[in-house]
Structure 1
Amino acid sequence: MGEHDITENLLGTYLKGRRAKLDPAALGFSVGRRRTPGLRREEVAQRANISPTWYTWLEQGRGGAASADVLDRIARAMMLTNVEREHLFLLGLGRLPEVHYRKDESVTPRLQRVLDALEPSPALIRTATWDVVAWNRAATVMLTDYDSLPPGQRNVLRFIFLDPRVRAAQYDWESVARFVVGAFRVDAARAGAAAEVQPLVDELCRLSPEFEAMWRDNDVRSHGEGVKHIRHAVLGPIAFEYSAFAVDGRPDLTMVVYNPATLEDAERIKSLVEARPVSRRAPS
């Protein structure tokens, strides 16, 4: 038997497996006598508002590729998680689904504990719109006292363009500002959050001619890793090696960790952090 004779219909196998895990009673279907667990094909088609014949062909590997709209309907009908939906699109179309931004600023206690364990390295979690939603004590001491600000003001672009103290802490403010604007533009577009960031962009354009000019340049940057220098009010010049990490299962969140560039700086930061009283807020 040749290798092409045993080629598996991966999409059909995946659909059949997901369908078998659905509870008919919980979804309003009569249980009755069923030869196999889960929903019948026609029941999935009914929930997805597509033809039962077309759905059957998908499971059987017939009829050609499904459209993104059909796959999206099936994903909703089967109540797939985000990662399951992505896998469905990869099998059906060979690509990820288009991104639709969903605002969710919640951070689990477990993720907060990860941030706390990284001290004395300042670490924070920001959204695709660059709102800071979680941080550790080192970030409070070295970067910004986020606890003292209302949630709506904990935005990196606001700090860079509207906070004189943050501006003064940068060695080359214009270079930092251009980098932030370019990386922010990429993150917002990648997350499908153009509409969500427009009010912030409009506000910053009104309040900061420098932001307006940089935004109109349409420059884009990648915020992966690099070196950041700051002038700290207590410790003076400090250098960090920073890295940005995606949070698995949360494409809207990014963790940024600032590692002190030298052991001496790490010890100085550690002493300053330990001298600060613990202020534990509940995660967003």
Structure 2
Amino acid sequence: MSDEQRRLDLADFLRTRRMRLSPEQVGLITGGRRRTPGLRREEVAQLANVGVSWYTYLEQGRDIHPSGEVLHSIADALQLTPAERQHLLLLADQQPRVDAYPPDDEQVSPALRYVLDSLNPIPAYIVDHRWNYLAWNTAADRALLLSQGEPPYEHNALWRMFANPTSRYLYYPPWEQVAQRVLAEFRADSARFADEEWFKRLIADLQRVSPEFRAWWPRHDVRGKADAEKNIEHPLVGRLMFEHTTLQVPAAPDLKVMIYTPQPQTDTLAKLQQLMEMQEVAVVLP
């Protein structure tokens, strides 16, 4: 991303992290009620052992260059998670630069497509750096209804989560929990593309169509990707329970392979095989 966009995102991230902490959480004693929530800038500076003016410049998006040691002190003061700490370092330009965006027409090789097909009846798909679905196998389409997209971003995972009604019926636990987690992962994953015009259009369109996105995006929550359980409430076969794994493609590191492995000691695999035997039909959700 451009230096200006990076500094603005850094300022926003620091501000949102500061506002979520109370003095009591960091061991400070206050003299009564405050007009606004969160820590003050001078309190963060004190906890991080940096100058107040200097820290204020960071939150104002000024062109200053903190060292890694100082950034880790600020991360400690703000009680950042490992994913948030990595995000802070990226926004502060303390990670290796990426000289160019991946190409707009990222390709899935025939070998990767063969891998997807060979995984049936286990759902698997591939996304690019924009979280667009580039390819998927039959099991993924039958279980996750990937072909039932919503324009104008029919094949984008974030748009699907917030703008496609299908997602509200598929995900368990409740959609709100899943959507907030996905949004935090997307924020962390896409930080270095934040000033890309396509990215800006997607964010603007999501803010227009989704009240939840409008409310949650300003929080600047970030979360790293990790293997996790994923549960789907399928309209035809009921509950599907998976272990979700993300694999990176060495030859194209901005492509990710998502694999949904049926949890053992559940009937998920049998239900997937049942879906594979069905005729291809569109599922109409209420």
Question: Could you state the TM-score of these two structures normalised by the residue count of structure 2?
Answer: 0.59
Residues 1:184 and 2:186 aligned together: yes
C-alpha spacing 1:273/1:126, structure 2 compared with 1 (3 Å)? same
Provide the C-alpha distance between the structure 2 equivalents of 1:149 and 1:202, rounded to a whole number of angstroms: 16
Residues 1:270 and 2:276 aligned together: no
* Deviation at residue 96 of structure 1 after TM alignment: 4.6
Provide the C-alpha distance between the structure 2 equivalents of 1:156 and 1:239, rounded to a whole number of angstroms: 20
Q: Kindly provide the CA deviation profile for residues 10-46 of structure 1, in whole angstroms up to 9, marking residues without a partner as x.
A: xxxxxxxxxxxxxxxxxxxxxxxxxxxxxxxxxxxxx
Q: CA RMSD in A?
A: 2.2
* Deviation at residue 224 of structure 1 after TM alignment: 2.4
Provide the C-alpha distance between the structure 1 equivalents of 2:152 and 2:108, rounded to a whole number of angstroms: 14
Indicate if the aligned counterparts of 2:232 and 2:239 stay in contact, CA closer than 8 A.
yes
Who is 1:257 aligned against? 259
Who is 2:157 aligned against? 156
* Deviation at residue 113 of structure 1 after TM alignment: 0.6
Indicate if the aligned counterparts of 1:129 and 1:193 stay in contact, CA closer than 8 A.
no
* Deviation at residue 165 of structure 1 after TM alignment: 2.0
Structure 1 unmatched runs, 5+:
1-94, 278-284
Structure 2 unmatched runs, 5+:
1-94, 281-286
Provide the C-alpha distance between the structure 2 equivalents of 1:231 and 1:199, rounded to a whole number of angstroms: 31
* Deviation at residue 150 of structure 1 after TM alignment: 7.1
Who is 2:243 aligned against? 241
Provide the C-alpha distance between the structure 2 equivalents of 1:266 and 1:163, rounded to a whole number of angstroms: 26
Runs of 4+ in 1 over 4 A off after TM superposition: 147-151
Q: 1:61-72 alignment to 2 at 5 Å? A: none
Indicate if the aligned counterparts of 1:128 and 1:193 stay in contact, CA closer than 8 A.
no
Q: 1:181-220 alignment to 2 at 5 Å? A: 181-190=183-192, 192=193, 194-195=195-196, 196-220=198-222
Indicate if the aligned counterparts of 2:149 and 2:164 stay in contact, CA closer than 8 A.
no
Who is 1:100 aligned against? 100
Who is 2:139 aligned against? 138
Provide the C-alpha distance between the structure 2 equivalents of 1:150 and 1:165, rounded to a whole number of angstroms: 13
* Deviation at residue 127 of structure 1 after TM alignment: 1.0
The number of residues matched between the two structures is 183
Provide the C-alpha distance between the structure 2 equivalents of 1:225 and 1:242, rounded to a whole number of angstroms: 5
Indicate if the aligned counterparts of 2:141 and 2:147 stay in contact, CA closer than 8 A.
yes
Larger Rg: 1
Identity %: 36
Specify the code of the residue in structure 1 equivalent to 2:248: A
Specify the code of the residue in structure 2 equivalent to 1:173: W
Provide the C-alpha distance between the structure 1 equivalents of 2:101 and 2:258, rounded to a whole number of angstroms: 20
